[in-house]
Amino acid sequence: MIRSDYLIIGSGIAGLSLALKASKNGSVSLVTKKKLFDSATGKAQGGIACITDESDSFEAHIRDTIVSGAGLCNEKMVEKMVAEGPERVRELISLGVEFTKKKDSDLEFELALEGGHSKRRILHAGDITGNEIERVLIRNIEKHKSITVYEYHTAIDLILDKDRICRGVYVFDNENNNTEIFEAKVTVLTCGGAGKTYLYTSNPDVATGDAVAMAYRAGADIANMEFVQFHPTCLYNSAVKSFLISEAVRGEGAVLKLRDGGSFVEKYSSQKELAPRDIVARAIDSELKSRGEKFVYLDITAKNKDFLMKRFPNIYAKCLEYGIDISKDMIPVVPAAHFFCGGVVIDENGRTSIENLYAAGETACSGVHGANRLASNSLLEGVVYADRVYKDSFQFLGKEYSEIDVKPIDDTKPSVNKSNVFVQKKEELRRLTWDYLGISRSNEGLLKAQKKTDILKIEIEQYFKEVPFTLDGIELRNMMFIAEMIVRSAIQRKESRGLHFNTDYPFLLPDVKDTVINIR
């Protein structure tokens, strides 16, 4: 049994920044499924939304967030996140994060504009902002002896005592193929989202919804899983798995076009390319389906090569690898699953409905995103709620808990190779979510998805009981539970709001509610 004061599952901006702070007060076990750097944060291109300019205001940022959230944001939570943002960003800068400065200035930041924002307020590090933040946080993590990092370790299930207090997590050591028990006074879920549950996604391979699925199985409240944000512009190329074309490209004037060169987004919103993501993604999806085409184009050729190479060096270089010179050529793009606005329900301090269990980042449903996330609010949310969890967790460190009789998981099952079956079932599940739980849904499709997930659940749970643990098996099980949660939440919502569009209910209801579900 591995004991520590803090057990943090996940190594994105929320997990890493929390680990740094928690290490001041106790021992920290940081568990991550692959390398520390493998997270959605590391792939984030755009930046972090924060008020740093005198011409901007907290009120404007709050308003933009609430408008994007389509009436479902928790205003109190939004206000706290926006107000605490500048201090959290200053902390990142003090750790060594280098955001891009204005030309010939050592003091003023170059601020980007993205969809849904009324002002330029996005701090960025070129077009690899998440990469820069991860690099700096990991460098600082490595300096702390009180933080023990467990790479290539995958969380399996939460450990609850007889009073339903979270006491730790069962963890699978991917490299040595054995299970371990991690016990802690404070357990925090920061595993990111579940984009890999879908066939097409901007997310890294690790994003299989592990934390949300574990919390769901343990009986925690889960909310708003129907709100899956599809980023409008993922590079369409069979050789590329999940490369995003940042929303900041549209912020700098890129125009969406059809294959015949005609524009179309103005038919769906007066904000055109800078409309919130749900509107732009639906516009593209609608045009593709009506025309029977596989992609649209993003055109930034009005900008010169020098500007593009300086502002978007990563995107420019990656596209060039595949024969696309974005200063001359239009970029083929398609929507892809990107961000979950729902997740494990938390309060203003990151507490879940299970005692001693916290959640932060994309794993959590804090209420700040509502029915649709405003661009570049995700990194902000992660760092703000990591700080809130840290400050709230002090009270649990001095508590004395009774000894728990935790039995190791019996993994002495016959060594049957099911790897091909797991891969096949993953693809079947991802196709199911893409076909029935995508950008546009229907009652008929949701009921079909429910029947299919019910059948898959029985099959997958049986496999899980019969064969030894493997990473593919654990991920498949979690992805299946994510699909089940999306279906349950989507069936509950008898309207179309934000990221959830049901062709049978193409209207808003006046009574706005979260769709809270649990397994109890």
Q: Rounded CA gap, 364 and 518, in Å?
A: 14
Listed in sequence order, the residues at least 6 apart from 173 whose beta carbon sits closer than 8 Å to its beta carbon are 152, 153, 179, 180
- How many alpha carbons lie under 13 Å from residue 180 in its C-beta half-sphere? 19
Nearest residue to 276 (alpha-carbon basis) of 224, 229, 228, 339: 229
Q: Which residues pair with 307 in a beta bridge?
A: none
Amino acid identity of 171? V
For residue 357, the surrounding DSSP H or E stretch is: strand 357-359
How buried is 420 (Cβ within 10 angstroms: 0-12 exposed, 13-18 middle, 19+ buried)?
Answer: exposed
338 Cβ neighbours under 8 A, 6+ residues apart: 195, 201, 202, 203, 229, 230, 231, 234, 244, 277
DSSP state of 30: E
d(CA 272, CA 253): 11
- Three-class secondary structure assignment of 359-422: ECHHHEECCCCCCCCCCCCHHHHHHHHHHHHHHHHHHHHCCCCCCCCCCCCCCCCCCCCCHHHH
Question: CB neighbours (10 Å) of residue 404?
Answer: 15
H/E stretch holding 88 reads helix 75-95
Contact by Cβ (8 Å): 132, 98: yes
How far is the C-alpha of 332 from the C-alpha of 314, rounded, in Å? 17
The answer to whether residue 250 is catalytic is no
Q: How far apart are CA 246 and CA 272, in angstroms?
A: 16
Cβ-based neighbours of 450, under 8 Å, separated by 6 or more: 487, 491
Interatomic CA distance for residues 492 and 495, integer angstroms: 9
Residues 475/210/154/337 CA torsion (nearest 10 deg): 70
- Which residue in the block uniquely carries the two structure tokens 């002495």? 412
Identify the three-state secondary structure at position 213: helix
Tokens of 441: 């849904």
Helix (H) or strand (E) holding 7: strand 2-9
- 121, 167, 277, 477: the active-site residue: 277
**CA distances from residue 375 to 231, 276, 381 in whole angstroms, order as listed:** 10, 8, 11
- How many whole angstroms separate alpha carbon 380 and alpha carbon 360? 11
- Residues present in the chain in total: 520
Q: Give catalytic residue positions.
A: 277
